[in-house]
Amino acid sequence: MPRAKRQPDTILPHDAAVSPRGSETRRRILDAAARALVAGAGACEIADVARLAGVSVGLSYHYFGSKAGLIAALVEDFYDRFEAAVMDVNPKPGAGWAERERLRLERMVAFHYADALAPLILGRLSREPEVAAVEAARIAGHIKLAAHNIELAQGRREIPADLDAHLLGAMILGGLRQAIGRVLAMPRRPGRERIAAQLWQFIAGTARLQEAGS
């Protein structure tokens, strides 16, 4: 699934002129912010991040403008990694929609289980305006791409043609996000395979796969 072209990062005014050394410093600050947020259960201060990154508070503000800008950039980075690991990868070229998307679902669950930021981004941080704005833009792009794939599958009679592709894509992705967020908040998470199997039952039912081709 090709990625929708992302708009340039507007929270980093110096981005166009960042040197290789500056890029490394920016990366170090982002990594420190991730550690600080996980340690603080979603709360952190610029001073804490700067200390962990080994830079001045002023340099952190130089790259990100504000604490909100830093968090938004961290969420952008999260979704960059998510798209590279899950959305941009064709898990089985030549496979039908159901087989391919089942494998993509398994990658999605594995990514969220493995990433320490995922419970925060899908949970506490999702209520922050800067995080919600980033998520809204990214999810809209994911839905658009999902709808395109669904339309192709409908053309091959893998999904019933009377389903609205954009609505179906929104229902599937919205449901997956809410379900995975709920699972990540559990004190004891069920196994990845079990969750992926249950979520696939939801997708198969929503897409009415049993009716396809009939």
pLDDT digits (tens, 9 = 90+) for 133-180: 999 999 999 999 999 999 999 999 999 999 999 999 999 999 999 999
Residue range 20-43: average pLDDT? 93
Q: What is the model's pLDDT at position 17? A: 54
Q: Is 175 exposed, middle or buried (0-12, 13-18, 19+ CB in 10 A)?
A: middle
What percentage of the chain has pLDDT greater than the value 70? 90
Assess if residue 120 is contained within a domain.
Answer: yes
Q: What is the CATH number of the domain that holds 81?
A: 1.10.357.10
Confidence at 18, pLDDT banded by 50, 70, 90:
low
Q: Which pLDDT value is given to residue 19?
A: 79
Count: domains in the chain:
1
**CB-CB neighbours of 147 under 10 Å:** 18
In a domain, residue 26? The reply is no
Q: Which amino acid belongs to residue 46?
A: I
* Domain hosting residue 143, numbered range: 67-211
pLDDT at 160: 97
